[in-house]
Structure 1
Amino acid sequence: MTVNSSSASLKHNKVIHKPKSTVGLAWRFLLRDWRSGELWLLVAALLMSVSVSTAIALFSDRLQLALGRQVAEVLGADMLIRSPGPVQPEIIEAARKQGLKLSTVLEFPSVVMAGDKMQMVSAKAVENNYPLRGHIRTADQPFAPDQIVNDTPSPGEAWLEPRLFPLLGVAIGDQVMLGNTWLTITRAITLETDRGGDFYSFSPRLMFNMADLESTGIIQPGSRVSWKTLMAGELSSLEQFKAWSKSRLDTSEQLLMADDSRRDLRNSVVRLKQFLGLASMAAMLLAGVAVAMASQRFAERRFDSCAVMRCLGASRQQVLRLLLGELAFVAVLVALPGVLIGWLLQEGIVQLLRGVLPAWLPAAGITPMVIGGLTGVITLAGFGLAPLLRLQDVSPLRVLRRDLSPAPAASWLVYGFSLMAVFLLLWYHTGEVVMALILAVASGAVLMMISLGVQLLLTQLGNRQRLAALPVFWRPGVSRIIRGKGKTSAQLLAFTLTFMAMAVVLLLRTDLLDRWQNELPDETPNYFAMNIQPSEVDAYSEFLTINDVDTSQLYPIIRGRLVRINDVPVREAVTKEQENHNALNRELNMTWSETLPENNRIEQGEWWEPGSNEGLSIEAEIAENLGIDLGDRLTFMVSGNEFTETVSSIRSVQWESFRPNFYMIFPEAVLQDLPATWLNSFYLDAEDKLLLNGLVTQFPTMTLLDLDAVISQVKKMLAQSTIAVEAMLAALLMAGLLVMMSVIESSIDERLHEGALIRSLGGTRRQLLIMQIGEFVLFGILAGLLAACGTELASYLLNTRVFQLRWEPAWFIWCALPLFGAAVLGIAGWLGIRRVISQSPANILQEV
Structure 2
Amino acid sequence: MNTLLLALRFLRRDWRSGELRLLVLALIIAVSAVTAVGFFTDRVEQAMVLQANQVMAADLVLSSSRPLPEQFEQQARSAGLRTAHTLSFPSVIMHRDETQLVEVKAVSREYPLRGELRTRNQPGAEEQRINRPPAPGNLWGEARLMAALGIQPGEQVSLGEAEFTLEQILSRDSALGNSFFRLGPEVLIALEDIPKTGLVTPASRVRYRLLVAGDQAQVEAFQSWSQSQLPRGVRLEHLSSARPELRKTLERGSRFLSLAALVAVLVAGATVALATRRFVERQSDTSAIMRCLGASQAMILQVLSLRLLLLGLLASLLGIGVGWMAQYLLAGLLSDWFGGTLPPPSPWPLLVGLGTGMITLIGFTLPPALRLGAVPPLRVLRRDLGAPPASTWLLTLCAIGAMALLMRWQAGDATLAGWVLLGTLGTVLLLLLAAWLLIRMLRPLRQHGGTLWRQGLAGLLRDPAMTALQLTGFGLGILAMLLLGIIRMDLLDAWQRTIPDQAPNHFLINIQPEDVEALGDFFQQQEIAQAGIYPMLRARLTRINGSPVSPEQYQDDRAQRLVEREFNLSWATEPQADNRIVAGQWWDATDPDARFFSVETGIAENLGIRLGDKLSFDLAGVPIEATVANLRQVQWDSFQPNFFVIGTPALLRDHPTNYITSFYLPPGQEGILAQLVKQFPSVTIIDVSAIMQQIREIMQRGSLAVEYVFLFTLAAGLLMLYTGIQASREHRQQESVVLRTLGMQRRGLLQAAGIEFVTLGLLAGALASVCATATGWFVATEVFGFTFRPSASIAIVGILGSGLAIGMAGVLATWPLTVHPPLRVLQNRT
TM-score by structure 1 length? 0.86
- Counterpart among 464, 470, 493 of residue 514 in structure 1: 493
Match of 2:503 in 1: 524
Distance (whole Å) between structure 1 residues aligned to residue 299 and residue 613 of structure 2: 69
- 1:597 is aligned to 576
Query: Cα offset for 1:750?
Result: 0.9
Deviations 1:497-543 (A, max 9, x none): 21222233332334422323322222223333333444544554444
Is 1:362 matched with 2:346? no
State the SS of the aligned residue for 2:113.
Answer: coil
Structure 1, residues 662-691: CA drift from partner, whole Å, max 9, x if none? 223445565454434443333333343344
- Structure 2 counterpart of 1:176: 158
Choose the corresponding residue for 2:13, options 12, 16, 29: 29
Q: How does 1:707-722 map to 2 (within 5 A)?
A: 707-722=688-703
Which residue of the other structure, out of 538, 541, 544, is the alignment partner of 1:559? 538
Distance in 2, matches of 1:28 and 1:119, equals 81
Q: SS state of the match for residue 208, structure 2?
A: strand
1:702 aligns with 2:686: no
Q: Secondary structure at the match of 2:175?
A: coil
Query: How far apart are residue 696 of structure 1 and its match?
Result: 4.0
Identify the match of residue 391 of structure 1 among 345, 348, 372.
372
The Cα shift of 1:412 comes to 2.3
1:483-562 alignment runs, 5 A limit: 484-562=463-541
Query: What residue number does 1:101 align with?
Result: 82
Give the direction of change, closer, same or farther, for the CA distance of 1:472–1:369 in structure 2 (3 Å limit).
Answer: farther
Cα displacement string for residues 335-378 of structure 1 (whole angstroms, at most 9, x for unaligned residues): 55544443443345445556645444234566535644554454
Which deviates the most, 236-245 or 576-585?
576-585
Partner of 1:264: 245
- Using the alignment, how far apart are the partners of 2:112 and 2:302 within structure 1? 61
C-alpha separation in 1, matches of 2:122 and 2:568? 34
Q: Is the 8 A contact 1:167 1:696 kept in 2?
A: no
One-letter amino acid of the counterpart of residue 174, structure 1: Q
- CA change 1:93–1:390 in 2 (3 A) is farther
Distance 1:162 1:617 in 2: 39
- From 55, 77, 85, the equivalent of 1:74 is 55
1:474, 1:416 → 2: CA distance? 37
Q: Structure 1 residue aligned with 2:633, among 638, 652, 668?
A: 652
1:586 maps to which of 557, 565, 588: 565
User: Counterpart of 2:589?
Assistant: 609
1:25 CA drift (Å): 1.8
Paired residues of 1:50 and 1:375 also in contact (CA < 8 A): yes
Instruction: Say yes or no: does 1:125 pair with 2:109.
Output: no
Q: CA deviation at 1:742?
A: 1.1
AA aligned to 1:421 is: A
- Contact 2:87 2:206 (8 Å CA) reproduced: yes
Instruction: Please give the alpha-carbon distance, in whole angstroms, between the structure 2 residues aligned to 1:477 and 1:582.
Output: 70
- Answer with 549-558 or 317-326: which moved more: 317-326
Q: How does 1:802-817 map to 2 (within 5 A)?
A: 802-806=783-787, 817=798
Distance apart, 1:71 and its partner CA: 0.6
Unaligned 5+ segments in structure 1 are: 1-16
| Matches of 1:239 and 1:618, distance apart in 2 | 32
Q: Is the 8 A contact 1:72 1:259 kept in 2?
A: no
Aligned mates of 1:128, 1:484 — CA distance in 2: 75
Give the C-alpha shift of residue 751 in structure 1.
Answer: 0.6
User: Counterpart of 1:309?
Assistant: 290
Question: Which among 31, 39, 45 is matched to residue 50 of structure 1?
Answer: 31
Unpaired stretches in structure 2, ≥5 consecutive residues: none
Three-state SS of the structure 2 residue aligned to 1:131 is coil
CA positional deviation for 1:397: 0.9
Shift of the 114–562 alpha-carbon distance from structure 1 to 2, 3 Å rule, reads farther
Look up the match of 1:774. Answer: 755
Compute the displacement of 1:630 (Å).
Answer: 4.5
Moved more, 398-407 or 656-665: 656-665
Task: Report the Cα distance in structure 1 between the residues aligned to 2:320 and 2:327, rounded to whole angstroms.
Answer: 11
CA displacement 1:366-395 (0-9 Å, x = unmatched): 653564455445433443333432322222
Structure 2 distance, partners of 1:471, 1:77, is 74
State the alpha-carbon separation in 1 of the partners of residues 406 and 631 from structure 2. Answer: 37
Three-state SS of the structure 2 residue aligned to 1:301 is helix
C-alpha contact (below 8 Å) 2:551/2:563 kept by paired residues: no
The answer as to whether partners of 1:474 and 1:778 remain within 8 angstroms in 2 is no
CA distance in 1, matches of 2:284, 2:634: 61
Q: What RMSD, in angstroms, separates the aligned Cα atoms of the two structures?
A: 3.9
Contact 1:100 1:237 in 2 (8 A): yes
Cα distance in 1, alignment partners of residues 558 and 316 from structure 2: 50
The offset of 1:213, in angstroms, is: 4.5
**CA deviation digits over 1:30-89, x for unaligned, max 9?**
45314xxx3432333233223322322222122212221111111111122333445555
Q: Distance in 1 between matches of 2:69 and 2:577?
A: 44
**For 1:403, which of 350, 359, 384 is the aligned residue?**
384
Q: Shift in Å at residue 480 of structure 1?
A: 6.0
Give the direction of change, closer, same or farther, for the CA distance of 1:386–1:358 in structure 2 (3 Å limit).
Answer: farther
Q: String of CA shifts for 1:621-670, please: whole Å, max 9, x gaps.
A: 22333333445444433333344444444332221122322223445565
How far off its partner does 1:163 sit? 4.1
- Once the two structures are superposed, the pairs formed by residues 209-608 of structure 1 within 5 Å of their partners are 209-213=190-194, 224-249=205-230, 252-324=233-305, 326-327=307-308, 330-331=311-312, 334-335=315-316, 337-350=318-331, 353=334, 356-363=337-344, 367-368=348-349, 371-372=352-353, 375-450=356-431, 460=440, 468=447, 484-571=463-550, 580-604=559-583, 605-606=585-586, 608=588
More moved, 521-530 vs 341-350:
341-350
SS at match of 1:134: coil
* 1:8 counterpart residue number: none
TM-score w.r.t. length of structure 2: 0.87
Distance in 2, Cα, partners of 1:572 & 1:362 = 36
Q: 1:511 to 1:98 in 2, by over 3 A?
A: farther
Instruction: Please state whether the residue corresponding to 1:152 is helix, strand or coil.
Output: coil
Deviations along 1:484-507, one digit per CA (max 9) or x if unpaired, are 454333323322221222233332
Name the CA shift for 1:326/1:140 in 2 (closer, same or farther; >3 Å): same
CA–CA distance in structure 1, aligned partners of residues 416 and 586 of structure 2: 31
The separation in 2 between residues aligned to 1:736 and 1:828, in whole angstroms, is 13
8 Å CA contact 2:148, 2:671 repeated in 1 = no
User: What code does the residue aligned with 1:833 have?
Assistant: T
Q: Aligned with 1:255: secondary structure?
A: strand
| Counterpart secondary structure, 1:57 | helix
Q: Comparing 246-255 with 297-306, which one deviates more in the overlay?
A: 246-255
Contact 2:90–2:101 under 8 Å retained in 1: yes
Shift of 1:612: 4.8
Amino acid at match of 1:405: G
Percent identity of paired positions between Structure 1 and Structure 2: 35
Question: Counterparts of 1:631-780 in structure 2 under 5 Å?
Answer: 631-666=612-647, 671-780=652-761
Q: Distance in 1 between matches of 2:637 and 2:113?
A: 25
Q: Distance in 1 between matches of 2:727 and 2:223?
A: 52
Q: Structure 1's 579 and 233: CA in aligned 2 closer, same or farther, altered over 3 A?
A: closer
In 2, Cα distance between the equivalents of 1:807 and 1:486?
37
How far apart are 1:754 and its partner, in Å? Answer: 1.5
CA spacing shift, 1:670–1:700, aligned 2, 3 Å: same
Q: Contact conserved, 2:135 with 2:189, CA < 8 A, in 1?
A: yes
